[in-house]
Structure 1
Amino acid sequence: MLDRFTIAERLCDRLAIIDGGKIVALDTPTGLVAHVDTEQKVRFRPASALDDTLLTVLPEVTSVERHGRQVVVTGTGNLVHAVTSVLVQHQIVAMDLRAEQASLDDAFIALTGRRFDHSAQ
């Protein structure tokens, strides 16, 4: 089941975030999310050896961390494309690849200072 923010993000060209009866932000879903954080993360497990330098030299990448076998690449811009291009170029299969970025829920919290009550009707 989709939550309200996911539905709004898919259906709306512009959204207003209202807090205490006042509009605190009015923008496109992407624009509201950009207010929060432009940083993204790509998580994956390389199927073969991976030299972190292949990723750290990319202009989109701000950091590369390892958590066991999992690699977490943080950055901005077209991070997913940059990371997957390097992996393909070096014939490294990315298992369990996930791309993460801020959501409208994160934007609401950042702009209002509180969580959205999803149970409210």
Structure 2
Amino acid sequence: MSADATASVDTTPRVPRWVATTLAVIFGLFYAYDAWEAVGNVIGISTLASGLDTSISVVGWVVLSLGVVIPIALFLIALGLGRKRDLLAQVLLYLSGLGVSAVVALDIVALFGAGQLLT
């Protein structure tokens, strides 16, 4: 057998770079919106805390910071995992990350609320 016959051939069609980049930018905007909402939560809770003459607890800062960091981290994970995959897999990875980001944001609101984040 020759070396050509034993070499594995990549049969998956490559996604053009401009398509992958466009897809990443479009989904990146959705992830950026999630991160921006989390920044709004930080500003809103800190305004609430100052209006009540109290401060945000350590747990509150951790939870609010995670709300900002998680959408960014999920986007980077989806981007990294989807680099060598086909178009459908990339879309599904981005959508899965957005779903996880939404669940985390709703869990933060449902589990902690404004009262538990303040001291």
Q: Same fold (TM over 0.5)?
A: no
Higher strand share: 1
Higher RCO (C-alpha 8 Å, min separation 6): 2
**TM-score normalised according to structure 1 size:** 0.31
Higher helix share: 2
**TM-score normalised according to structure 2 size:** 0.31
